[in-house]
Chains A and B, each alone.
Chain A
Amino acid sequence: MSAAFGTDAPAPGSCARPHGPDEGALFRYLLRLGDLSLVLGQRLGEWLGHSPALEEDLGLANIALDLIGQARLLLSYAGEAEGRGRGEDELAFLREHREYRNPILAEQPNGDFGCTIVRQVLIDAYQLELYERLEASSDPRLAAIAAKSVKEIRYHLRYSGGWLVRLGDGTEESHARVRSALDALWPYTAELFAEDTLDRMMAEHGVAPRLAEVHAGWLRRLDPILAEATLERPRDRPYSWHGKRGEHSEHLGYLLAEMQYLQRAYPGARW
């Protein structure tokens, strides 16, 4: 495992650099963004052929493909920032779970359709608030990736938010199911906004926004959807998730085993 994965502490003197954060930090930050998209995209792909209706099968698959597309752009860029010759494929298929930097909300199992929708709303709203601000990033390439992604994410939230309202304000059973999913998944959202050294460094260099700002925007966006879905926003609780630093739940290993199987079994396989 490379030293770049070992710590999120800034390199000595990095703040003195005139042209932005050092490449190692940028690499690690891009992994956080790219891994969230990749892992969530893979999760949504599991619905293929299992959705409640043919139309939803395509809806979820479309979102999954958008997310995989984002991951490809972000991981390609991450590989270049790292400068060790790793491309999107090496980063996606040949890293261990501890090298993955997605917040662990993304890797939580699909559960029922309602649970998938709750997870999606929470992440879509987060991504939208984050990427709208990343459009103004001091890093022009990241800003361009964000500008492309924002259009996709806006639709994702329209889809997931629409479904959350239907289910929350639907039957007794659909309401109970999304309510319990919301209660179960809510604690994992804390990690999205917990700013660590790396997040702070990115904000100081103007690469990324302050997470407190993203958090406030997220709540402003989420609250009306929850209200329309007749769902109460759960209380924040202390948390100890550190997917952004590579400490994951047991679920990620299974997800990667399935996603990476082909490249592990047949290294370099192409079609």
Chain B
Amino acid sequence: MSTLDVSRQWPLYEVFVRARGGLDHKHVGSLHAADARMAIDHARDLYTRRLEGVSIWVVASKDITASDPSETESLFEPARDKIYRHPTFYEIPDEVKTL
């Protein structure tokens, strides 16, 4: 890029890669691309070079709505004292290995 003028750069895309069948797509990073098709190509070249995935999702970063960091307390703190929501009061038999 000959200029750092952000308005002239390609838009940003977030990249999600599924490592193998059955797993979720995981966020792996972001990249610049002119459109979604190019974002897929770039994601393939940047994030699956070492056999990291079998499927790619790209989402324009501008289309992601994020929670407001200033609201972190009101959004997440109330869950802190509700430990009864965790299934930690069960005794797990020794025979059960994979839980």
Contact = CB atoms under 8 A, between A and B. Distances in A.
Interface centre among B1, B37, B41 (most CB of A within 10 A): B41
Contacts of A54: 32
A46 to B, nearest CB: 18
A162 B34 CA distance: 12
Interface stretch (A5-13, A55-63, A134-142, A232-240): A55-63
A162 B31 CA distance: 18
Given A58-B49, A59-B45, A162-B41, 19 more contacts: A52-B1, A53-B10, A53-B32, A55-B31, A55-B32, A55-B33, A55-B42, A55-B45, A58-B45, A59-B41, A59-B42, A62-B45, A62-B49, A158-B41, A159-B41, A162-B37, A162-B38, A166-B34, A166-B38
A96 B58 CA distance: 47
Interface of B: 1, 10, 31-34, 37-38, 41-42, 44-46, 49
User: Chain A contact residues (Cβ within 8 angstroms of B): what range?
Assistant: 10 to 19
B1 A53 contact: yes
A59 B39 CA distance: 11
A59 B31 CA distance: 13
Interface of A: 52-55, 58-59, 62, 155, 158-159, 162, 166
Nearest to A55: B42
B52 to A, nearest CB: 14
B37 A58 contact: no
Nearest to A58: B45
A58 B10 contact: no
B11 to A, nearest CB: 12
Nearest to A65: B49
A101 to B, nearest CB: 30
Contacts of A62: 45, 49
A52 B10 CA distance: 12
A183 B37 CA distance: 28
A166 B33 CA distance: 12
Contacts of B32: 53-55
A158 B41 CA distance: 9
A162 B1 CA distance: 20
Contacts of B44: 155
Contact of B46 (A58, A155, A158, A159): A58
Nearest to B2: A52
8 contacts: A53-B10, A53-B32, A54-B32, A55-B31, A58-B49, A59-B41, A62-B49, A162-B38
Question: Which one of A52, A59, A162 has the greatest number of beta carbons of chain B within 10 Å?
Answer: A59
A44 to B, nearest CB: 13
State the 5 A-B residue pairs at the shortest beta-carbon distance, nearest first: A55-B42, A59-B45, A58-B45, A62-B45, A58-B46
Contacts of B45: 55, 58-59, 62
Nearest to B35: A166
